[in-house]
Structure 1
Amino acid sequence: MPQSQFEELIQRTRAGDRGAENELLEKCRAYISLVARAQIEGWMRTKFDASDLVQQTLLEAHQGLSRFEGETEAEWLGWLRGILNHNTLDFARRYQGAAKRDVKREFSIDRAGQQPEASGQMKWELPDQADTPSRILLNREQEIQVADAVSQLPPDYQEVIMLRNLQRLPFKEVAERMQRSPGAVQMLWLRALNQLQELLEQV
């Protein structure tokens, strides 16, 4: 969705247009879902599902619309990530007695698949520098489109992209989590990127 249309949705939502609000929240569902999945560590997944975080986040966004002071898509997504981050920490504290958290593996939602550019802007960047299609740059203006495209991928493609590109795990650890060989995981990852690129080119 063009920036101007997204900002118009925000303005209509703030003016009390319930239809615009529903459309705005629904457009962000896949994005919030993807980041929520990346936010949850392995032990946390046995206690609650990412969908719980998504529902809670969207509900709180609806209830707290009057507290949103931004106007742009980037500000809106940042506000949603803040709500999601708070909910994730709250859920984690609730179940922290179930397992010991590995502080070194804690995942900051503000760093999900991103790294700072010299300009101070943040981008989703695939860490490997191999030839196409293993490296795709996706800036902030494309986050919702990327999340929508990822949500259309098969589950194992979604998983390998989430682990490799959002959580930035080495292939060895990705292979362990997915119970596959490192070589098989690398091939799966490349196929996932190929299909993701095809979907993005259709947008």
Structure 2
Amino acid sequence: MSEGASSRIGRLLEQARDGDVAARDQLFQSCRNYVAVIARAQVESWMRAKVDASDLVQQTMLEAHRGFDEFKGCNEAEWLAWLKQILGHNTQDFIRRYRTAKRQAGLEVPAVGTESTFDPIGEFAAASMTTPSQVLMAHERELAVADAIAQLSEDHQTVLQLRSLQRLPFDEVAQRMNRSRPAVQMLWMRAVQKLEETLHEADQS
């Protein structure tokens, strides 16, 4: 058995390819939070505003379901890269439609990037920050991190998205969240602590 197949995602991939419908459903469910975290960070980064990314997530998961037989990888890293590629293409289409609609409405639209390689969880993992980034160094922890973020409160998710994933300065985070800088800094520290606790609890379970 390959190194990738020894992981949970690798096993689910093998079972799904063998026709196990339950394993296939579990495979996609296991990655939904991961796709959602990246989608939200991408949309917020490009649109400079909070936008509901749920439609983008749904479209990406549906396309991955339909095109599952086209996936040729065998391990978690390749699987996540494939999902990010689909999400990147869908996000580019989303941005183009958004900009076209705004122009047709006569509104000014700032130039924004549409790089499909934007990977907020990977960026967070590579960043030389405090202890949470150290927890994220291993690639296989990306799914665990996304699941842990999804369990946090909305405020904690938002501050981590803006500060830790997009690495915006605290002044800009404070402006977007309509709070003072000291309040945002305190919120971020608490969010980091809660993230660490959630990841630790997951490791112990």
TM over 0.5, yes or no? yes
Is this contact kept in 1: 2:12–2:24, CA < 8 A? yes
CA RMSD of aligned residues (A): 2.4
- Displacement of 1:77 after TM fit? 0.6
Counterpart residue number, 1:140: 139
Distance in 2 separating the partners of 1:49 and 1:27: 21
Is 2:142 aligned against 1:110? no
Cα distance 1:134–1:67, how it changes in 2: closer, same or farther (>3 A)? closer
SS at structure 2 position matched to 1:16: coil
Counterpart residue number, 1:163: 162
Cα distance 1:3–1:88, how it changes in 2: closer, same or farther (>3 A)? farther
Q: TM-score, normalised by structure 2?
A: 0.84
Structure 2 residue runs without a partner (length 5+): 103-107
Q: From 76, 81, 87, give the equivalent of 1:78.
A: 81
Counterpart residue number, 1:21: 24
Counterpart residue number, 2:129: 128
Cα distance 1:156–1:54, how it changes in 2: closer, same or farther (>3 A)? same
Q: Choose between structure 1 and 2: higher strand proportion.
A: 1
Is this contact kept in 1: 2:7–2:76, CA < 8 A? no
Q: TM-score, normalised by structure 1?
A: 0.84
Structure 2: which amino acid aligns with 1:76?
Answer: W
Distance in 2 separating the partners of 1:169 and 1:36: 17
Cα distance 1:110–1:36, how it changes in 2: closer, same or farther (>3 A)? same
- Displacement of 1:4 after TM fit? 2.4
SS at structure 2 position matched to 1:110: coil
Structure 2: which amino acid aligns with 1:102?
Answer: A
Structure 2: which amino acid aligns with 1:13?
Answer: A
Distance in 2 separating the partners of 1:29 and 1:52: 12
Cα distance 1:30–1:46, how it changes in 2: closer, same or farther (>3 A)? same
- Displacement of 1:41 after TM fit? 3.1
Is this contact kept in 1: 2:33–2:146, CA < 8 A? yes
Q: Which moved more, 1:2-11 or 1:77-86?
A: 2-11
Counterpart residue number, 2:105: none
Distance in 2 separating the partners of 1:14 and 1:88: 27
Structure 2: which amino acid aligns with 1:71?
Answer: C
